[in-house]
């Protein structure tokens, strides 16, 4: 659906933006989860009589780059991704290697981690269409960015999640807690004609949802600190989070929640709230 003269949104599991940049030309902000998403985008382009110039990936997670390969092969478009995310878009198997820490058993090579390879180039201001700006939004992933279009529509990628997701889960995926919080604080003060989070309903006032995400992060920190009242291994802390949330342990959840938990612990250690020590061939975490 068109939400302005130049911006067409394809809403779904990942909200995707098609931005008209000139007569009959458009660029894409993210490409969805797989080939079927690529097909849906191609249909929308055809229906609107638009030629795709380029895809701008906000970050390298598979649900944002999964349509890249289909569209690049069929339409020959260029693909841009921010800084270190570029390597992951070019080699998506790096994602599970990073999360797991070595070549992982097959069960971990799930489609939520591994997209098809595509030929991405590093994003620079020179590679942007006229009037479009990059907004650094690190934290959820290493170098995630958002985009502000020349019509003042802001794409926020995964820097926050919906109220429904917050109600359901105590912990949502992030890479670097400190950067994640700084980004959310920045988002709290943003103004735009329309905000488009990748996994929440587009809105004109993002502050309430950004504040709710910040409060949720603070609650999660408290929960982890409570679990660290007695010295505990990382696996014990992970179990505590799964039990309190009623989460079902799967290979995917284990690496996602496990990696996020490590992100929280690193931040808590750097702030002097938690310490770790080695005892009896175990690494133990304890509240200070
Ligand atoms: Zn993501």
CA 157–ligand 1 middle distance (angstroms): 7
Would you mind telling me the total number of residues written for the chain in this entry?
Answer: 288
Indicate whether this model's pTM tops 0.85.
Answer: yes
pLDDT in tens, 177-221: 999 999 999 999 999 999 999 999 999 999 999 999 999 999 999
Distance 196 CA to ligand 1 centre (A): 14
Q: Name the H helices within 19-141.
A: 35-48, 62-65, 68-75, 85-90, 93-100
Report the pLDDT value the prediction gives residue 190, as an integer from 0 to 100.
97
Distance 160 CA to ligand 1 centre (A): 10
Architecture per CATH, 222-287: Orthogonal Bundle (1.10)
| CA of residue 63 to ligand 1 center, whole Å | 7
* CATH class of the region 7-158: alpha beta
**168 C-alpha vs ligand 1 centroid, how far in Å?**
18
> Which tens digits make up the pLDDT trace of 219-241?
999 999 999 999 999 999 999 99
CA distance 273 to 279: 20
DSSP structure class, residue 54: E
Distance 80 CA to ligand 1 centre (A): 16
Q: Which two tokens stand for residue 162?
A: 């919906």
Q: How many angstroms separate the alpha carbon of residue 96 from the centre of ligand 1?
A: 13
Helix (H) or strand (E) run with residue 266 in it: helix 251-270
pLDDT tens, the chain, 288 aa long: 999 999 999 999 999 999 999 889 999 999 999 999 999 999 999 999 999 999 999 999 999 999 999 999 999 999 999 999 999 999 999 999 989 988 889 888 877 888 999 999 999 989 999 999 999 999 999 999 999 999 999 999 999 999 999 988 878 899 999 999 999 999 999 999 999 999 999 999 999 999 999 999 999 999 999 999 999 999 999 999 999 878 888 998 999 999 999 999 999 999 999 999 999 999 999 999
Query: Distance (Å, rounded) from C-alpha 56 to C-alpha 30?
Result: 6
Q: Is 228 exposed, middle or buried (0-12, 13-18, 19+ CB in 10 A)?
A: buried
Separation of CA 269 and ligand 1 centre (Å): 25
Q: What are the structural domain ranges in the chain?
A: 7-158, 222-287
Expressed in angstroms and rounded, the spacing between residue 174 Cα and the centre of ligand 1 is 8
> Ligand 1 centre and the CA of 218: distance in Å?
20
């Amino acid at each position: 659906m068109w939400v302005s003269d130049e911006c067409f949104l394809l809403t779904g599991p990942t909200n995707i933006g098609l931005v008209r940049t000139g007569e009959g030309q458009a660029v894409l902000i993210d490409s969805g989860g797989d080939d079927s998403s690529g097909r849906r985008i191609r249909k929308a382009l055809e229906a609107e009589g638009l030629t795709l110039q380029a895809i701008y990936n906000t970050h390298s997670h598979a649900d944002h780059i999964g349509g890249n390969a289909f569209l690049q092969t069929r339409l020959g478009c260029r693909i841009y991704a921010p800084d270190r995310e570029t390597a992951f878009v070019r080699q998506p198997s790096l994602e599970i290697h990073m999360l797991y820490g070595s070549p992982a058993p097959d069960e971990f090579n799930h489609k939520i981690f591994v997209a098809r390879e595509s030929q991405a180039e590093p994003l620079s201001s020179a590679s942007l269409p006229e009037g479009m700006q990059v907004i650094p939004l690190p934290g959820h992933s290493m170098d995630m960015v958002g985009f502000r279009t020349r019509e003042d529509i802001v794409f926020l990628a995964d820097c926050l999640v919906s109220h429904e997701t917050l109600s359901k889960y105590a912990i949502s995926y992030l890479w670097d807690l400190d950067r994640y919080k700084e980004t959310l604080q920045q988002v709290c003060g943003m103004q735009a004609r329309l905000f488009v989070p990748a996994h929440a309903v587009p809105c004109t006032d993002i502050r309430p949802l950004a504040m709710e995400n910040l409060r949720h992060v603070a609650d999660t920190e408290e929960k982890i600190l409570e679990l660290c009242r007695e010295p505990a291994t990382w696996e014990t802390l992970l179990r505590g989070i799964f039990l309190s949330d009623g989460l079902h342990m799967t290979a995917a959840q284990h690496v996602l929640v496990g990696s996020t938990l490590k992100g929280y612990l690193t931040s808590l250690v750097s702030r002097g709230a938690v310490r770790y020590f080695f005892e009896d061939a175990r690494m133990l975490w304890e509240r200070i």
